[in-house]
Amino acid sequence: MTLPFLTPHFPGVGGSIKQRPEDFFVEEIPLYEPSGEGEHVYCQVQKIGMTTFDMIDAVGKALRIPERNIGYAGLKDARAVTRQVISIFDTTEEQVKALKVPNIEILWAERHLNKLRMGHLKGNRFAIKIRDVNATDVVKLRPMLDEIEKRGMPNYFGEQRFGRRGDNDILGACLVRGRPEELLARLLGTPNPAVDLNDEHQARHLFDAGRVEEAMHHFPRRCGLERRALARLMKTGKPGLAVKSIDEKLRKLWVSALQSKLFNEVVAKRIESLDKVIAGDLAMKHENGACFLVEDVAVDQPRADAFEISPTGPLVGYRMSHPTGESAKVEEAIFKANGLTPGHFKQEGRDRAKGARRAMRVKPADIAIAAGGDDHGPHITVAFTLPSGSYATVLLRELMKGDELTSKEDHQQMEDESALPVESEDQ
């Protein structure tokens, strides 16, 4: 599904992003500061051109400690310059500050009481260069940004959520429907020349043709997930056991991608009235994430206009709170069109999800734009802050009016920009 723009009446500036790591800078805004005492050392790490997991692996090896001793609040892009805070157990501030690891710099280190956990993050600050543009087109951005600052940015999940092959949501649907054969057909077959390299592309063709052993021979070592699932299928002949051999965290990510797809479709349906609440909405208070039922629009719309509250969409699951009225009809129609119900996410023996609510819009803060140029040509720089869980690429897509923001090379290293969503308290 191609998602609609909030500002289709304004032309975009076009261009491309992430041509080189220094074009995409992001810095985490911590949820809290370290106290100065405790068993864990918090440190801010600047990394260049590597995934969060690669960074954690390198830090762990350099300090000779297990990866389980290292905590992090969010995942950051590989093809970027990123600053994020991690916590390290069983080390000293001096040892951390003395680290010498390629492409990693320790900016500060201080003790704290607890391990850093996924989601312990207030937001992210971005500075992104748009290249292959006419730098004077920077003037086109202000009318769009004015409208976005007033009405909010669609809180779509970005393309990162759906993985290198763009089918994480399909894999998630196979899991919640209990269809392991379909999942393996998608995971091991369905060749796509747009994203598959030659050896992987051939392996997928062979799997689709039923030549399983030859497919195993052609899957390269970098396709560890596919090789592991295929090996279990060949050994047992049981698709269900092959699927269960896949890491549980990855299966949860696929289910989360399915939730993300459904959420995006609901936001798309409400895009023209994104800043409006309707009776029956479950609205979220931006100050604390609490949700409540909208009963009197005359009372609550002024709060929405002031950006105190926003309507929410579903991260569908078996314990998710449901809206009423027209809002409920929109969500139910989308669930039905996708052949799903909240009950699919509770089936025994399948991957389950409790569900949550997510604000349909967010407000970018501290926006700054500038035209410039360097040895690589003219560019436009856009700087802004987003709350945790929202995607910079969604805002860039709106400004550029393009859907292909990420290159094939980026997809090979794609990471989610944020923690998985946490269910809000209903009030």
The 10s digit of each residue's pLDDT in 232-248 is: 999 999 999 999 999 99
Residue 96: which residues within 8 A CB-CB, separation 6 or more? 41, 43, 63, 88, 106, 109
| Distance separating alpha carbons of residues 354 and 321, to the nearest angstrom | 10
The 10s digit of each residue's pLDDT in 370-414 is: 999 999 999 999 999 999 999 999 999 999 998 766 544 444 444
- Is the per-residue pLDDT at 136 higher than 50? yes
> Would you tell me which CATH number, out of the four given (3.40.1160.10, 3.90.1170.50, 1.10.443.10, 3.30.2350.20), belongs to the domain 272-362?
3.30.2350.20
Which two three-digit tokens encode residue 386? Answer: 């987003």
| Distance separating alpha carbons of residues 285 and 374, to the nearest angstrom | 43
For residues 423 and 265, the model is more confident at: 265
Which two three-digit tokens encode residue 110? Answer: 């201080």
The 10s digit of each residue's pLDDT in 25-39 is: 999 999 999 999 999
Confidence of residue 427 (pLDDT cuts 50, 70, 90): very low
Q: What per-residue confidence (pLDDT) applies to 214?
A: 97
Q: What per-residue confidence (pLDDT) applies to 402?
A: 82
Domain spans in the chain, listed from the N-terminal domain onward: 32-118, 272-362
- Is the per-residue pLDDT at 92 higher than 90? yes
The DSSP output letter for 113 is S
For tokens 């730098």, what's the residue?
135
% of the chain residues with pLDDT over 90: 87
| Residue 54: closest CA among 70, 41, 40, 33 | 70
Which candidate in 23, 54, 57, 77 is catalytic? 77
32-118 and 272-362 in the same fold: yes
CB 24 within 8 A of CB 76: no
- Residues of the chain by 3-state class (helix, strand, coil), percent to 5: 40, 20, 40
Does the active-site annotation cover 199? no
The 10s digit of each residue's pLDDT in 156-203 is: 999 989 998 999 999 999 999 999 999 999 999 999 998 998 899 999
Q: What per-residue confidence (pLDDT) applies to 110?
A: 97
The pLDDT mean for the chain works out to: 92
CB 361 within 8 A of CB 310: yes
Topology classification of domain 32-118: Pseudouridine synthase (3.30.2350)
Q: What per-residue confidence (pLDDT) applies to 403?
A: 72
- Is the per-residue pLDDT at 251 higher than 90? yes
